[in-house]
A and B are shown apart, each in its own frame.
Chain A
Amino acid sequence: MSFHNSVIIVASPRPRVGKTLLARLLVDYYTQEQRQVRAFDLSNGEGSLADFLPQQVTVSAIDGVSGQMALFDLLVTADEIVKIVDVGHESYESFFTVAHRIGFADEARKRGIAPVILFMISPDRAAADAYRGMNARFRRATLSPVHNEMLGPNQLRDRFPPAGLGAALLRMPALAPGLRKYVETPPFSFADTQLANAKHIPLDVHIELQRWLRKMHLEFRELDLRVLLADLQASIRL
């Protein structure tokens, strides 16, 4: 199973917690890893996933059954394409209500696809309640909390316990203030091979960016390996 056939859902019921940044990082990471990636954008507003990655991103709407079919029928197709879903806070409830109702996580497992939910944690009570609900509704998914260090130190560990095969806390290091203006302006891509030669990015900023990216990629690799290992252990037990 592992990330070769996986659906990674980046979500939070709160806005501005770093969902789209994480989704962009994942798409670019898998692109650099020479894997086929497809992404789905369920968020509105400026700086959306589709703004940064127009070639790889499908803008989805799940208000109607046709839109739900277009999205979920693709997500449960085992085609060795890594699928990333950026669930904006406006779509959070409807997305997970539909996913639960149609048995998304069970079907994905049945088809050899690892369903992974990366939940951006935040100190508000709504996020903790939403996480608890997610844990109860998606027992067959890997539910990993994501601590975005931009939002402050992690003092919330107890409220967001990792759950499911290979789950663990994923750390998203704080982005240096000097980097943000480059990273948050479309069409910036972390996978851009010409990034090192980009004249508008000063050398020190570039070095800082590479350091930050290495930390993120390490987190992704560890998560990938944990999911793979947990899956292998589960199949040995069977």
Chain B
Amino acid sequence: MAKPAVILVGADKGGVGKTTVSRTLLDYFSAHHIPTRAFDTEAPRGTLKRFHPGVTEIVDVTQIADQMKIFDTLGSADAKVTVIDVRAGLLSPTLQALNDIGFIDSAKKGQITFAVFHILGPSIASLEEISQTAEFVGDASYFLVKNHINETSFFDWDPATYNSYFNQIKGAQDLTIPKLNEMATEQVEVASVPYVQFVANKNAKGEAANFSFVLRGYVRHWLGQVWGEFDRVKLNELVASKSESNVRQAAS
């Protein structure tokens, strides 16, 4: 049996697009036919659950009962991959909790695949988060995500400064999420469906919808770019031994 994989998506800063990245991850694994479940830590009301209600559960990751719900079921759940969308400000505390319960050690021993998607904001404070999280991640696959969805400019960073933080984590890789057109973003928000479903012109009930072909085209193009980044870092290979080819067709 393949070992379970846990992907933590977080940042200590709010509004940097954590849930957007989580949504693209769920779409990506779904297109690769990799059974996935998600936990939305924005208790009591979760944004991720609104878009992926079928696979998402809202939890309070600071509560032991909910930690048990997530981590005690890793081996028994049907889903091979667990995506945890960590609420703003909770990335470091969550990693601390994972360390305390021995999860990080299990990942080091190779019993669990563990990956962290650290969504960066444009400020130096965001870079300082890297050093705070670095001490916990150990051998996890660590991805620093520059998310341009909020028109963030990362060019203000001095490359030497960025690299000094980046190099603190062995094997860290960076990912770039391009900007999605505002009107397309807004329409997907209104539709409250996964990106893939919007592209396929289906509403939340799975029935034929009447979304703009132009906006669907923009979302398809953008999602292809995001998935291209996931492919580049071999995300499907990280969580699954077998990958489907040509999955981007699922978005067409």
CB–CB B214/A103 < 8 A: no
Is A65 on the interface with B (CB-CB < 8 A)? yes
List residues 24-80 of chain A with CB under 8 A from any CB of chain B. Answer: 65-66, 68-69, 72-73, 76
Among B181, B183, B213, B216, residue most surrounded by chain A Cβ atoms (within 10 Å): B213
CB–CB B215/A107 < 8 A: no
CB–CB A66/B213 < 8 A: no
CB–CB B183/A66 < 8 A: yes
CB–CB B215/A65 < 8 A: yes
Stretch in B54-62, B94-102, B135-143, B217-225 touching the partner: B217-225
With contact pairs A65-B183, A65-B184 given, residues A102 and B252 touching in the complex (Cβ less than 8 Å): no
Min CB distance, B171 to chain A, in Å?
34
CB–CB A68/B214 < 8 A: yes
Using C-beta atoms within 8 Å of the partner chain, give the interface range for chain B. 10 to 19
Is A101 on the interface with B (CB-CB < 8 A)? yes
**Majority DSSP secondary structure for residues of A touching B:** helix
Q: For residue A224, which residues in chain B have a CB less than 8 angstroms away from its CB?
A: none
Partner of A101, one of B183, B212, B218, B252: B218
**Majority DSSP secondary structure for residues of B touching A:** helix
Q: What number of A-B contacts does a CB cutoff of 8 Å give? A: 37
Report the bound CA distance from A104 to B220 in whole Å: 12
CB–CB B221/A102 < 8 A: yes
With contact pairs A103-B252, A106-B252 given, residues A69 and B212 touching in the complex (Cβ less than 8 Å): yes
Using C-beta atoms within 8 Å of the partner chain, give the interface range for chain A. 10 to 19
Report the bound CA distance from A195 to B118 in whole Å: 71
Report the bound CA distance from A102 to B213 in whole Å: 8
Residue of chain A at shortest CB distance from B184: A65
CB–CB B213/A76 < 8 A: yes
Min CB distance, A33 to chain B, in Å?
28
CB–CB A101/B221 < 8 A: yes
Q: For residue A98, which residues in chain B have a CB less than 8 angstroms away from its CB?
A: 214
Q: For residue B221, which residues in chain A have a CB less than 8 angstroms away from its CB?
A: 101-103
CB–CB A104/B217 < 8 A: yes
Residue of chain A at shortest CB distance from B219: A102
Q: For residue A66, which residues in chain B have a CB less than 8 angstroms away from its CB?
A: 183
Report the bound CA distance from A107 to B183 in whole Å: 20
Chain B proximity mask over A90-109: 1 for CB below 8 Å, otherwise 0: 00000000100111101100
Min CB distance, A115 to chain B, in Å?
13
Report the bound CA distance from A103 to B249 in whole Å: 12
CB–CB A65/B181 < 8 A: yes
CB–CB B217/A101 < 8 A: yes
Q: For residue A68, which residues in chain B have a CB less than 8 angstroms away from its CB?
A: 214
Report the bound CA distance from A134 to B252 in whole Å: 21
List residues 96-135 of chain A with CB under 8 A from any CB of chain B. Answer: 98, 101-104, 106-107
Q: For residue A101, which residues in chain B have a CB less than 8 angstroms away from its CB?
A: 217-218, 221
Report the bound CA distance from A73 to B214 in whole Å: 6
With contact pairs A66-B183, A103-B252 given, residues A73 and B218 touching in the complex (Cβ less than 8 Å): no
List 14 A-B pairs, Cβ < 8 Å: A65-B214, A68-B214, A69-B212, A73-B212, A73-B213, A101-B218, A101-B221, A102-B214, A102-B216, A102-B218, A102-B221, A103-B221, A107-B213, A107-B217
Supply 15 further A-B pairs (C-beta < 8 A) apart from A69-B215, A106-B252, A107-B213. A65-B183, A65-B214, A65-B215, A65-B218, A66-B183, A68-B214, A69-B212, A69-B214, A73-B212, A76-B213, A102-B214, A102-B216, A103-B220, A104-B217, A107-B217
